[in-house]
Amino acid sequence: MDLLTWVQIPVLALRGVFMELENVKGTIDELPERALLRERIADTLKGVFKKYGFVPLNTSCLQKFETLTAKGSGGEEIKKETYNFDDNSRRRIGLRFDLTVPTARLLSENKSVTMPLKRYEYGKVWRYQEIKPGRQREFYQFDIDIFGTKSLLAEAELISCAVEGFKALGFKEFKIRLNNRKLLKEMIKYSGVNEEKITDVFRSIDKLDKIGVEGVKKELEQRGIKKETPKIIEVIQISGRYDEVLNKIKKILGKNEGIDELEELAGYLNVLGIENQCIIDLSLVRGLEYYTGTIFEISAEGLNVSFAGGGRYDSMIQQFGGNEIPAVGLSFGIEPIIQVMEKKEEETATAQVFVAVADSTLKNEALKIADSFRKQKISTELNLSEKNLSKQFEYCNRKKIMFAVIVGSRDFREKKATVKNMLSGEETMVALDKLSEYVVSVVEEKKPKRK
Amino acid sequence: MDLLTWVQIPVLALRGVFMELENVKGTIDELPERALLRERIADTLKGVFKKYGFVPLNTSCLQKFETLTAKGSGGEEIKKETYNFDDNSRRRIGLRFDLTVPTARLLSENKSVTMPLKRYEYGKVWRYQEIKPGRQREFYQFDIDIFGTKSLLAEAELISCAVEGFKALGFKEFKIRLNNRKLLKEMIKYSGVNEEKITDVFRSIDKLDKIGVEGVKKELEQRGIKKETPKIIEVIQISGRYDEVLNKIKKILGKNEGIDELEELAGYLNVLGIENQCIIDLSLVRGLEYYTGTIFEISAEGLNVSFAGGGRYDSMIQQFGGNEIPAVGLSFGIEPIIQVMEKKEEETATAQVFVAVADSTLKNEALKIADSFRKQKISTELNLSEKNLSKQFEYCNRKKIMFAVIVGSRDFREKKATVKNMLSGEETMVALDKLSEYVVSVVEEKKPKRK
Instruction: Work out the average pLDDT over A394-421.
Output: 94
Q: Name the band, by pLDDT with cuts 50, 70 and 90, for residue A20.
A: low
CB A232 within 8 A of CB A188: yes
Instruction: Work out the average pLDDT over B395-414.
Output: 93
Q: What angle do CA B221, B225, B228 make, to 5 degrees?
A: 115
| Contact between B19 and A319 using a beta-carbon 8 Å cutoff | yes
Give pLDDT tens digits for B185-240.
999 999 999 999 998 999 999 999 889 999 999 999 999 999 999 999 999 999 99
Give the C-alpha separation, A156 to A269, whole Å: 6
Query: What's B354-369 look like in SS3?
Result: EEEECCHHHHHHHHHH
Instruction: Work out the average pLDDT over B123-134.
Output: 90
CB B52 within 8 A of CB A26: no
A21: nearest CB among B61, B66, B86: B66
Give pLDDT tens digits for A122-173.
999 999 999 988 789 999 999 999 999 999 999 999 999 999 999 999 998 8
Give the C-alpha separation, A403 to B189, whole Å: 49
Q: What is the DSSP letter of B196?
A: G
Q: Hey, is A404 helix, strand or coil?
A: strand
| B21 contact residues in A (CB cutoff 8 A) | 64, 66-67, 70, 105, 108-109, 320-321
Give pLDDT tens digits for A37-66.
999 999 999 999 999 999 999 999 999 998
CB B439 within 8 A of CB B353: yes
| A385 contact residues in B (CB cutoff 8 A) | 115-116, 148-149, 151
- For chain B, percent of residues with pLDDT exceeding 70: 92
A381: nearest CB among B53, B164, B367: B53
| Contact between B272 and A371 using a beta-carbon 8 Å cutoff | yes
With a CB-CB cutoff of 8 Å, which residues 253-272 of chain B face chain A? Answer: 267-268, 271-272
The ranges of chain A annotated as CATH 3.40.50.800 are: 353-446
Predicted pLDDT of residue B2: 38
The ranges of chain A annotated as CATH 3.30.930.10 are: 32-344
Distance between A285 CA and the closest CA of chain B, angstroms: 26
CB A290 within 8 A of CB A187: no
pTM of the shown model: 0.90
Predicted pLDDT of residue A346: 65
| B91 contact residues in A (CB cutoff 8 A) | 24
Instruction: Work out the average pLDDT over A382-396.
Output: 95
With a CB-CB cutoff of 8 Å, which residues 215-244 of chain A face chain B? Answer: none
For chain A, how many residues are written?
451
CB B419 within 8 A of CB B390: no
| A147 reaches B (C-beta below 8 A) | no
What is the DSSP secondary-structure string of B275-307?
GGGEEEETT---S-TT--SEEEEEEETT-SSEE
A62: nearest CB among B27, B52, B371: B27
B21: nearest CB among A70, A114, A164: A70
Predicted pLDDT of residue A8: 41
Q: Where do the DSSP E strands lie in B366-423?
A: 380-382, 403-407, 416-421
Q: Which amino acid is at B6?
A: W
| Contact between A29 and B138 using a beta-carbon 8 Å cutoff | no
Indicate the CATH number of B353-446 among 3.30.2320.30, 3.40.50.800, 3.40.50.720, 3.90.600.10: 3.40.50.800
Sequence-distant (6+) residues with CB within 8 A of A100 are A143, A145, A290, A313, A316, A329, A331
Give pLDDT tens digits for B68-108.
988 777 667 788 899 998 876 778 999 999 999 999 999 99
Q: What's the mean per-residue pLDDT of chain A?
A: 89
Alpha helices by DSSP H, listed for B191-292, are 198-205, 208-222, 229-236, 242-253, 257-271
* B350 pLDDT more than 90: no
Give the C-alpha separation, B301 to A119, whole Å: 36
Predicted pLDDT of residue A295: 97
- For chain A, percent of residues with pLDDT exceeding 90: 73
Tell me: domain B32-344, CATH 3.30.930.10, correct?
yes
Beta bridge partners of B62: B95
| B47 contact residues in A (CB cutoff 8 A) | none
| A397 reaches B (C-beta below 8 A) | no
Note the Cα B211 to chain centre separation in Å: 26
Segment B245-253 long-range contacts (CB within 8 Å, at least 24 positions apart): B245/B279, B245/B280, B245/B282, B246/B280, B249/B183, B249/B187, B252/B187, B252/B190, B253/B183, B253/B186, B253/B187, B253/B190
A377: nearest CB among B23, B51, B106: B51
Instruction: Work out the average pLDDT over B127-134.
Output: 88
For chain B, how many residues are written?
451
Sequence-distant (6+) residues with CB within 8 A of A342 are A34, A37
| B380 reaches A (C-beta below 8 A) | yes
Note the Cα B11 to chain centre separation in Å: 46
Beta bridge partners of A132: A135
Sequence-distant (6+) residues with CB within 8 A of B264 are B152
Sequence-distant (6+) residues with CB within 8 A of A218 are A211
Tell me whether the omega of the peptide bond preceding residue A336 falls within 30 degrees of 0, making it cis: no
CB B201 within 8 A of CB B193: yes
Inter-chain CB pairs, A–B, below 8 Å: 276
| Contact between B19 and A70 using a beta-carbon 8 Å cutoff | yes
| B23 contact residues in A (CB cutoff 8 A) | 60, 63-64, 105-106, 109
Q: Where do the DSSP E strands lie in B32-91?
A: 55-56, 62-64, 84-86
Give the C-alpha separation, A167 to A448, whole Å: 19
CA nearest B271: which of B149, B155, B106?
Answer: B155
| B51 reaches A (C-beta below 8 A) | yes
| Contact between B116 and A385 using a beta-carbon 8 Å cutoff | yes
Q: Name the band, by pLDDT with cuts 50, 70 and 90, for residue B17.
A: very low
Give pLDDT tens digits for B156-184.
999 999 999 999 999 988 899 999 999 99
Higher pLDDT, A16 or A342: A342
Give the C-alpha separation, A445 to A449, whole Å: 10
Q: What ipTM was reported for this prediction?
A: 0.89
Beta bridge partners of A62: A95
Region of A392 on the Ramachandran plot (φ > 0 left; ψ -120 to 50 alpha; else beta):
alpha
